[in-house]
Structure 1
Amino acid sequence: MDLTNQQPPWRRLAITAAALIILAVLFSVIQTNGIIANLPKRDDLYYHWALAITWLLIGFWFVRYINRLFTKFASKQKNGAARAWVIGRRILSALGYLFVGIVTLHLLQVQISSILVGGALTGVIVGIAAQSTLSNLFAGLILFTVRPFTIGQTISFRSYYFSSVEYTGRVIDVNWYYTTLQDGDRHRVLPNSTVILSAITVHSKQETRSFDLTVPYRVASDTLVQDLQKATGQTITGEIKTFGPDHYILQIHVPAQCPLETVRRVLDQAFA
């Protein structure tokens, strides 16, 4: 049985969330119209705290149950999908704990409105200060959800953020904030907010790229192609296109996954 094709636990999530909301309403009714309303004032505080602690324990159990549902499902997914489900699990957990906390404050008769106003102002200030971080975070969430590429693929990015310079490499990591490409011995770390605004080219394993090289006559074309193949471990072919007074034009065909930095280094040594 293919575990990666199992359906997400939306039904259990909906039932659990509905049960949590019904319990919150029930606890609120007990506080305002139930037994506590008829208790002596001297015992009022103790019963409010007992009710709040009881709700807190039950609410935390429900949120942890939802957390376990998503953790179990994410563990059976492939790498990219698993990360997306982990992010979704964390967001739902945060919302669940926030809901439990608000209801707890209500049961303790704390004025939530003033806290929410202060929290909103704080959120605006923090949001402005962390705008770059948040944009990368949400861009990472989009990449995990849409998955325009996967780890191990060779891709190219072109964007006005990079002054229209194209970056090509093999994807070795995608996290919440950055996408990392390997280009030969170099690692290029690109912010996710720029990645989702870039033109993305996903290269197939059979795809090749062609480059025209101006080669002096003292460098033999066969020797140059053999040096490139030895350095990169890839099948590289070349053909002479035209001849000049002191050079010739050699067109080489390089596989898409071939590290261009290694090609540059070989050419630099050959033409030195």
Structure 2
Amino acid sequence: MRAQMPALEYLAFNLIVAIVTLVVGWALSSLAGRGVRKLAGRSARVDPTIVPMLYTVTVWSIRVFVLIAVLARFGVQTASIITVLGAAGLAIGLALQGTLQNIAAGIMLLALRPLRAGEYISVVGKGDGTVAEVGLFLTRLIQFDGVHLTLPNSLVWNNPIINYSRNATRRLDVEVAVRYGDDLELALRELAALIESHQYVLPTPKPEVMVIDYRESTTIVNMRVWVASANYWTLRFDLYRNAMQALARAGLKMPIPVSEIHAAVPIVEASK
């Protein structure tokens, strides 16, 4: 019994040290991750999109070393640990090919940067929204109605991405219908005055008002302007609201669909 006490004391000592190492290492990994995220957020050279991945890599790199140190405390050989991790990594890699594809796709998204945090994008056929985060496995978007949309990185990478925010300016086309019989030239002048006086319409490229189509009872006039990307939707809503009001003040009436119905009237011969 007495011979067993030193071994039990040694085991208890190692267990306490291992627990302390694990707790402290886990806490330090979280602290280091937050520090990296804070420093990266302050630097103008670091893209905000890459910050979540830097945080994850920092945290789990430290935690892996902590786990190895804990196992080594109990006499497990480091070489055998690396061998086991290699074999386990190969098995897990074969079993989780989709997950590895997400990691690879996340790295490609961060390296080539077709999207960045804060930009409004559309993943064609999958969803659209403002980029909130590109993580190690998932990309998170915030849709215009405030709903969070989470997509696997591989799904984002393997589909066309339309980025609406990358350029500083965007072209806006607003169509207005003018009735046949109304003064078309007057309508063109009123719409031109409307867009030229709007504070969000950029002078270059020059705004245009043009006839683009003829339909059953109306002529379609297009207002083509350029606007800063941040003001796109505000200008779009303003032009749609004010265009018909401007035409109404000029004496032009709102176009109403008109259909002509021709009915054949039977001819009745007079009785003899």
TM-score of the two chains, using structure 2 as the length reference: 0.51
Alignment partners' CA distance in 1, 2:51 and 2:29: 16
For the residue of structure 1 that corresponds to 2:12, the secondary structure is: helix
Using a 3 Å threshold, how does the CA distance of structure 1 residues 172 and 54 change in structure 2: closer, same or farther?
A: closer
Alpha carbons 1:76, 1:82 under 8 Å: kept: no
Where do 1:6-21 residues align within 5 Å? Answer: none
What amino acid sits opposite 1:149 in the alignment?
L
Aligned to 2:119: 153
For the residue of structure 1 that corresponds to 2:39, the secondary structure is: coil
Higher helix proportion? 1
Aligned to 1:178: 139
Could you list the runs of 5+ residues in structure 2 that have no partner in the other structure? 42-47, 245-254, 257-272
Alignment partners' CA distance in 2, 1:150 and 1:76: 18
Aligned to 2:260: none
What amino acid sits opposite 1:209 in the alignment?
R
Aligned to 1:96: 65
Where do 1:61-76 residues align within 5 Å? Answer: 61=24, 64-65=27-28, 67-76=30-39
Deviation at 1:75, TM superposition (A): 1.1
Alignment partners' CA distance in 2, 1:242 and 1:259: 23
Match of 1:77 among 14, 31, 40: 40
Deviation at 1:239, TM superposition (A): 1.5
Using a 3 Å threshold, how does the CA distance of structure 1 residues 210 and 127 change in structure 2: closer, same or farther?
A: same
Match of 1:50 among 9, 13, 24: 13
What amino acid sits opposite 1:173 in the alignment?
A
Deviation at 1:240, TM superposition (A): 0.9
Using a 3 Å threshold, how does the CA distance of structure 1 residues 242 and 47 change in structure 2: closer, same or farther?
A: closer
Alpha carbons 1:74, 1:83 under 8 Å: kept: yes
Could you list the runs of 5+ residues in structure 1 that have no partner in the other structure? 1-38
Aligned to 2:252: none
CA-to-aligned-CA distance 1:209-236 (integer Å, 9 cap, x gap): 3547473437956559959x98xx8428
Aligned to 2:222: 250
Deviation at 1:77, TM superposition (A): 1.4
Alpha carbons 1:136, 1:193 under 8 Å: kept: yes
CA-to-aligned-CA distance 1:238-258 (integer Å, 9 cap, x gap): 421445263224152354442
What amino acid sits opposite 1:215 in the alignment?
A
What amino acid sits opposite 1:235 in the alignment?
V
Computing the radius of gyration from Cα coordinates, the structure with the larger value is 2
TM-score of the two chains, using structure 1 as the length reference: 0.51
Moved over 6 A (4+): 122-126, 269-272
What amino acid sits opposite 2:116 in the alignment?
T
Tell me the number of residue pairs that the alignment of Structure 1 and Structure 2 aligns: 214
Deviation at 1:156, TM superposition (A): 4.5
